[in-house]
Amino acid sequence: MDTVTYPDRSVVELVNSRFEAVRLEVTGKDPAVREVARRYRLLWSPGFVVLDPRGEELRRFLGYQPPRDFVAELRLALGKVHLLHRRYAEAYEDFRAVADLDPPAPVTPEALYWAGIAAYRRDGRPLDFLREYWEELRVRFPGSRWWTHADVFGPEGPGRVP
Amino acid sequence: MPDPVIAWHPAAAAALTAAATSQHAVLLAFWAPG
């Protein structure tokens, strides 16, 4: 992360513009850092946790992240922060940025899932329209588990969103 | 001009306070040497 990802310009720009970022050495002697590490119970490092401004955990992920994947993870997390605070248009923008990556990032199917929800919330349309918002997920990633999660209108699903 | 670098906060508590004030999200990046 130190030699490739953290110095990457796209990573630096995103982190500096939209995050308060802190590094924590989990094996260090600082008791405050060790307490934070204990609180989040990470099983491995490097590990990443994204919190909203009030401290609510919205995403965690583990292991080395190439710059492009790291940016995708962070934008997905930022979309979820917006979604939590009902800023649906802003949430959609972050999810859409991940959805539009070409080639797709590992989290692109998940981004499309959340983009559908953000757009549905943003537009305030009836629940049946959620199917339309998830159509791109069905077409592009029909084998993904995120399409499985979205396929609540299909013959095997309950036919409605809880 | 030097390349930009991530502006890491010096302490977790300070970052959380700053986030609440600035309305920014918080990124906790855990690492271990070696």
Distance of residue B23 Cα from the nearest chain A Cα, in angstroms? 5
Query: pLDDT-based confidence at A162, cuts 50/70/90?
Result: very low
**Quick check: A115 and A101 in contact, CB under 8 A?**
no
* pLDDT tens track for A23-34: 988 887 888 777
Cross-chain residue pair B27–A48, CB shorter than 8 Å: yes
Cross-chain residue pair B33–A26, CB shorter than 8 Å: no
Q: What is the mean pLDDT of residues A136-151?
A: 93
Distance of residue A81 Cα from the nearest chain B Cα, in angstroms? 7
Question: What per-residue confidence (pLDDT) applies to A78?
Answer: 97
A21 versus B14: which is more confidently predicted? A21
Question: What per-residue confidence (pLDDT) applies to B22?
Answer: 77
Enumerate the β-bridge partners of residue A57: A51
Task: Inform me whether the pLDDT recorded for A152 exceeds 80.
Answer: no
Q: What is the mean pLDDT of residues A128-148?
A: 92
Q: What is the mean pLDDT of residues A7-20?
A: 95
Identify which of A32, A24, A28, A27 has the alpha carbon closest to the alpha carbon of residue A1.
Answer: A24
Give the helix/strand (H/E) hosting A15: helix A9-18
Nearest to B29 among A9, A48, A51 (CB): A48
Structure token digits, residue A10: 């796209």
Give the residues of chain B that fall short of pLDDT 50: none
Find tokens 């790291």 and name the residue: A70
Give the helix/strand (H/E) hosting A148: helix A145-150
* pLDDT tens track for A53-73: 888 999 999 999 999 999 999
Identify which of A62, A24, A140, A123 has the alpha carbon closest to the alpha carbon of residue B8.
Answer: A24
**Nearest-Cα residue of chain B relative to residue A20:** B26
Which residues from A are below 8 Å from B4, CB to CB? 9, 12-13, 16
* pLDDT tens track for A85-104: 999 999 999 999 999 999 99
Query: pLDDT-based confidence at A126, cuts 50/70/90?
Result: confident
